[in-house]
A and B are shown apart, each in its own frame.
Chain A
Amino acid sequence: MAISDELKRLVAQMPDPDSRGMYTTDIDKEKIEKAVAEIAGGGKEHVLGLIEMLGEPGTDEDVKPHYALHCVVNYALVAGDEKLRKDFCDAMASQLDNGDLIPCNRAYLCQELQWAGRDEACPALGKVLLNEDLTEPAALALAAIGGECAASPLRAAAPKAAGKCRLSVIDALAALADPRSAATFQEAMKDDDREVRLAAGSGLAKLGDASAINLLLKAADCEPGWERIQQTKHCLVLAEQLAAAGKKDLAEKIYSHLRETRTDPSEKYVRDLAEAALS
């Protein structure tokens, strides 16, 4: 689409960086807010125009539309205008698969959806979860949006995702403590990638999933090192969750195991806190 002269004029109202490349001089709040309100008045078309104006990160070409896009998206939140917010987010979501945009700028759209997106943004974010350039920002956006609409595309991506994408997806599901992902986490505990196993352990612990007790205890009994430290933490979190849910006998099972297995002097602090929890 063509970028209108009106939009170009309004974007030019954004501040010029100072000699250090910063926004630290001549920042006129009223002037910026007036121009932003006018851009917002142009609705979805103006947002699409701003996206088209984005350039390589940090360049002269990029500075003003980059800032203007964020200000316009936030304008909808400040104004509390739900229709405007949704229109703007729909416009950004529609461009996530636009191959004419450089990956940095598609990641920037994910970032803006992380800022202001809601359920309407989730399907489009889900579609780029298997894209290596976008999996991280898309997963971050979905984790921020939260809820079933965010979890659903993550769950759908999990069986197909590999490498970096798999880690992002499992980690985001763990961040959401998605109650429908317990089986996915249990499966991921067998992954070859240590970080995927740790993400899965975190998810199971947050869920307070009693059926995961043996799995987590076994994982935490691995060789001394980072994984043992982290999975032990997950066991403790699970025990706390179970105790808070009134399942004290199950929590005691975890604490008893830790008390009996953390016999090396370097793990005395774990044994001691298990002992304290049992006393």
Chain B
Amino acid sequence: MKKANRGVTRRRFLQSTAAGVAAATIVPRNVLGQGETPPSEEFGGALIGCGGRGGGTFGCLGPGVRRLASCDVKYKDRCDNQTFYVDFRRVLERKDIDVVAIATHPGWHALISIAAMEAGKDVVCEKPMCRFIAEGRAVAEAEKRFGRVFQIEAKGGYRANKVRKIFESGLLENCDSVYIQRGGKKVKEWSGMVKYRVEDVPANLDWDLYCGPAPLRPYHRHRFGGTHRGYWDYEGGGLADMAHHALHAPAYQFGRDLTAPVEITPHAPPAHPEACGLWGWCELKYADGFTVVLDSGEWGEPYGRLEPKHTSEGDLLNMLSEDDRKKLDAMPDPEPLPMFPEAIRTRRPTGSNAERSQRVATIYHLANVAFRCGRPLKFDPDTEQIVGDEEANRLVNQPMRAPWRL
């Protein structure tokens, strides 16, 4: 049974206190002050994208969120624009929606996240955060501009960690650490079809809105539902689907959310223009020498150029001088990063805020760009542009079909 909305809503609370200030240039911290929000508070919530991951993603909003709206492009048969919606824009116009969970296909993740924050909502979004690198940057900019709380599904909740502290300190300027992930990327499972049968669009589906910023393709059922993962238009195969799970915690631990790789070396057969397919491995090297390797184990010979090494606390401490170890000890531990339910009450960034998640997503998006281009790439982490490869940059910042734009 749903609870009656008798509590102090977050919006009413924000309206009634001058402390609820969202700074324009920084993600606000402790704006409300911990403990100021009554535990009985109830938030108005919406779920956008009500497929397989919908319920789980909505659950990440935490307790005390009442679902007021459900939105999906397949709801043409039940859309009343009160409880059920087809068009997310109508949901975001509602004043009584405070928090939004997004579980559409990932071609929509960034745009709806941005639009929700522009409308003053806090957001939990399914992984991956974005379909390409410039989209992720735009999410991080919206998070900052509007002072909103953002989280990637259930990622985050990090506590102080010594390895993290070493990398975050900036003391380790040169290292030869190699971190290799083998398997777990569901490459064959989430491939796209190159041979398929074009069908009529189901009556309850708004196919144009489903395609959204991607090209309007002929409908075939494999592009719809969970198998959307196999198409560059909507996601990026098993790599984009699974790598955020696999990389988020290691990226935090190894400080790979502070910058991005600079050299990317792919090994894959020529990619299909629309359907995601096979790849072998990708080696991604950072400016400080740290190397991340993603090895699918699903095509070609296993990766064998480097062996895993120097990722333990002891190894990393041994790379520091005596003086630097003393400096490290004198530094404060990394700040804990909360989960969404705490973050919306304290107005602190979550453990998977958009800025951090952008750096994580950049790792696997760069690998996919290299697979699709079929050539090694160099990347500038500051400008987030590929160096000296105009055509590869078109995958970093992809144009969108009108009326959708970053």
Contacts and interface: CB of A to CB of B under 8 A. Distances in A.
Interface of A: 17, 20-24, 27-29, 32-33, 36, 56-60, 63, 66-67, 70-71, 74, 77-78, 104, 107, 111-112, 114-116, 118, 136-137, 139-140, 143-144, 167-168, 170-172, 174-175, 195, 198-199, 202, 224-226, 229-230, 232-233, 236, 240, 265-270, 272-277
B195 A21 contact: yes
Contacts of A167: 402-403
B195 A58 contact: yes
B278 A24 contact: yes
A60 B195 contact: yes
Interface in B89-104: 89-90, 92-93, 95
Contact of B215 (A21, A136, A144, A233): A136
Contact of B275 (A22, A112, A199, A268): A22
Given A70-B272, A195-B402, 19 more contacts: A21-B222, A23-B194, A24-B277, A29-B269, A58-B194, A77-B391, A136-B216, A144-B398, A167-B402, A171-B402, A171-B403, A174-B405, A175-B400, A175-B405, A195-B403, A232-B118, A266-B95, A269-B120, A270-B120
Interface stretch (B13-21, B157-165, B358-366): B13-21
Contacts of A136: 215-216, 401-402
B304 to A, nearest CB: 17
A144 B394 contact: yes
B192 A36 contact: no
Contact of B92 (A28, A56, A229): A229
Contacts of A57: 196, 198, 217-218
Given A23-B194, A24-B191, A107-B215, A269 B22 contact: yes
Contacts, number: 176
Nearest to A237: B145
A273 to B, nearest CB: 4
Contact of A23 (B115, B275, B394): B275
A124 B193 CA distance: 31
Given A111-B215, A175-B405, A269-B22, A22 B194 contact: yes
Given A104-B218, A172-B399, A77 B194 contact: no
Contacts of A265: 11-12, 15
Interface string B177-208: 00000000001100111111110000000000
B120 A111 contact: no
Contacts of B401: 136, 140, 168
B391 A116 contact: yes
Contacts of B51: none
Contact of A70 (B23, B192, B273, B391): B273
A116 B391 CA distance: 6
Given A63-B194, A175-B405, A112 B273 contact: yes
B33 interface: no
A1 to B, nearest CB: 23
A21 B273 contact: no
B214 to A, nearest CB: 10
A193 to B, nearest CB: 9
B24 interface: yes
B270 interface: yes
Nearest to A239: B24
Contacts of A240: 145
Contact of B196 (A33, A58, A139): A58
B374 A78 contact: yes
B172 interface: no
B175 interface: no
B277 A58 contact: no
A58 B270 CA distance: 19
Contacts of A29: 268-270, 300
A231 B116 CA distance: 14
A20 to B, nearest CB: 7
Among B11, B196, B405, chain A packs the most CB atoms within 10 A around the CB of B405
B402 A199 contact: yes
Nearest to B119: A229
Interface string B203-234: 00000000000011110101000000010000
A139 B402 contact: yes
A161 to B, nearest CB: 11
Contacts of B222: 21
B215 A140 contact: yes
Contacts of B93: 224-226, 229
A19 B215 CA distance: 27
B309 interface: no
B231 to A, nearest CB: 11
B286 interface: no
B368 to A, nearest CB: 14
Interface string B270-308: 101101011000000000000000000001100000000
B145 A63 contact: no
Contacts of B197: 58
Contacts of B399: 114, 139-140, 143-144, 172, 175
B375 interface: yes
A233 B111 CA distance: 14
B254 interface: no
Contacts of B312: none
Contact of A268 (B20, B25, B394): B20
A233 B118 contact: yes
Contacts of B25: 276-277
B147 interface: yes
Contacts of A168: 401-402
B22 A111 contact: no
B278 A275 contact: no
A202 B118 contact: no
Contacts of B269: 27-29, 32
